[in-house]
Every structure is written in C-alpha cells, then in structure tokens.
A and B are shown apart, each in its own frame.
Chain A
Amino acid sequence: MKIVRFISISCKESTQLSTKKLEQKLSWKEAILLQFHILICTPCRYFQQQVNAIHSSIRNLISNDKILNTKLSEEKKIDMQAALNKAQSEIPSN
C-alpha cells in the first residue's frame, strides 16, 4: 500500500500537472506520476484531453475570431484623428 501511495497522486494534483504540462515541460517524475494516474483514472484522462482541446481552441479563437476582423470604420478613424490633433494643438509646450 505504501508503494501505491508513493506512486499515486490525487485527482487534484493530476489536473494541476495537466495544466502545468500545457505551459512547460514536466520533470520526469511529474511526467511519470501523471501518466500513471491517467492510465487508471478515466475522469482525469478526459480532463487532460479536454483541457488540451480548450487550450488550442483559445489559440484558434485568437487567430480566427470575428473580433479580429473588426476594424474601425474610416469615419471613426477620421473623427479620432481629428480629436487627437485638436487635443495636441491645445498642449502649449508642443
């Protein structure tokens, strides 16, 4: 039983490691503990798979999102630049 303890991590720790793995390389010990846990724990296996998918979907969102195709209208740009020029001319030192 002691050995099982030694090589076991909790579901909470396993999800922590799955999170960490997305950002940086795990130590060999962490990697083994995570692999072992995921082998025997279905919810944590789902968790890892799904969090990986969400992680890449956020990257896709940023490159594909409609928001990224939103632009200032030409009118709005002219208005903004005019306001900016006006404000600039009111600064005495310039």
Chain B
Amino acid sequence: MNLLQPAKWVELYGDYLLKFALFRLNDVALCEDLVQETFLAALKASENFKGESSEKTWLTSILKNKIIDEYRKKSRSKIVDDETQQEETDFTDFFEKNDNDFGHWQTEQKPIAWEKSILDKMVTQEYYQVLKKCMRKLPELQFNLIQEKFFIENDPKNICKKYNISQSNYWVMIHRVHMVLRKCIEINWVK
C-alpha cells in the first residue's frame, strides 16, 4: 500500500485516464464513471500492486479492462466474429484469390488517387471525425493494437506478449488495420 498514493490519484491521473477512455468510447459521462470505478477498483486491489510497473501503467491497465467490459456488453454474437475472423486472415475481401496469380486487387477495392487538396485536409477536425469513426469500427483486438501502438507507444514485442499473439499474427492484423482504415477513409472522406 505504501507504494501507492491514492490521495493524489485524481489530481495526477484523472485527466489522463479520462482521455484514455474517451479515445475508445466517446461518451464523457460513461468515461468519467469508468475512471471513478477504476480508482475504487485499484484501491481494493492495492495489495496486488507490486511496484513492477508505474502507478500510472497499473491504473491504466485496470481502466482498459473496464473499457473492454463495456465493449463486451455491446459486442456482436460469437458466430459473426468467427466469420469475420476468417475473412481477416486471408484478405480475400481485398485481393483476388488465385494460386497462379499475383494476388491482384479486387476491382472495387483498388485504391483511387487522393488529390493533394485532400491530403492537405487531413489535419482538419472533419477529417479527424472520420478517422475516429473508422477506427471505432475496427474489431476490438485490432483497435486495442492500434491504441497500444500509438497511444501507449508500446513496442510490438510487448504488445504481442500482452495479447498473447505471435509476431506474424501481429503483422497480419496491423496490415489488416491499414487496409480497412484506408478503405473506410476513402469511402467516407475522399469520395
């Protein structure tokens, strides 16, 4: 317990944790509740804190589990997940499947040119809204990977360990994320 300073948590980590949750859930009231629950859960579990990670990392991991619970509440049925999982690994929704061929783009999936004026606008609030919308559409694990990679700046080795996935699986998923995000932005922003 003496490793932790609950009296300073709200001041030190409140805003950070709120942002962390908002990035994922986009509902201020819900996120505030989750932050509060995180502090209370942390207090109850304080004996488990061994000081191996920082207080901040530890609190964040508790919050993350709460966010994942929220997602479970909303998640689709398992059967649908299995189907998309299949699609996710063979990429047949993007590329033609033909052993003798070079794996060309499906006609309707071919990237189109984005004008320079479009690329220049990728710093506007309108664009960020589209980007966030597209990111939220990602399956949970893929979204978590993106969050780890960009928001927490965790390196791939640690991420793989944490989510118990192989390096090659990690790359397949990041590849997948790029394919899906690009397409989603093209549909919702460029066209």
A residues apposed to B, CB below 8 Å: 8-13, 15-16, 18-20, 23, 43-44, 46-47, 49-51, 53-55, 57-62, 64-68, 70-72, 76-77, 79-81, 83-85, 87-88, 91, 93-94
B residues apposed to A, CB below 8 Å: 1, 6-7, 9-11, 14-15, 18-19, 22-23, 28, 32, 35-36, 39-40, 43-44, 91, 94-95, 101-105, 110-114, 119, 122-123, 125, 127-128, 131-132, 135, 146, 150-151, 156, 171, 174-175, 178-179, 181-182, 185-186
Q: Are A87 and B171 in contact (CB under 8 A)?
A: no
Given A58-B131, A80-B10, A85-B7, do A72 and B171 touch, yes or no (CB 8 Å)? no
Closest residue on chain B to residue A81 by CB atoms:
B10
Contacts of B127 in A (CB 8 A): 57
Given A8-B102, A91-B43, do A53 and B122 touch, yes or no (CB 8 Å)? yes
Number of A-B contacts (CB under 8 A): 129
Q: Are A84 and B95 in contact (CB under 8 A)?
A: no
Contacts of A93 in B (CB 8 A): 1
Given A67-B19, A88-B43, do A54 and B182 touch, yes or no (CB 8 Å)? yes
**One of B102, B114, B122 near A46 (C-beta < 8 A):** B114
Q: Are B113 and A70 in contact (CB under 8 A)?
A: no
Contacts of B43 in A (CB 8 A): 84, 87-88, 91
Residue picked from A10, A67, A71, most chain B C-beta under 10 Å = A67
Q: Are B18 and A50 in contact (CB under 8 A)?
A: no
Residue picked from B9, B15, B135, B156, most chain A C-beta under 10 Å = B15
Contacts of B110 in A (CB 8 A): 43
**How would you classify the secondary structure of chain A's contact residues: helix, strand, loop or mixed?**
helix
Residue picked from B7, B10, B182, most chain A C-beta under 10 Å = B10
Contacts of B150 in A (CB 8 A): 58-59, 62
Q: Are A68 and B19 in contact (CB under 8 A)?
A: yes
Contacts of A20 in B (CB 8 A): 171
**One of B9, B15, B131 near A61 (C-beta < 8 A):** B131
Given A23-B156, A51-B178, do A71 and B40 touch, yes or no (CB 8 Å)? no
Q: Are B94 and A12 in contact (CB under 8 A)?
A: yes
Q: Are A84 and B111 in contact (CB under 8 A)?
A: no
Q: Are B39 and A80 in contact (CB under 8 A)?
A: yes
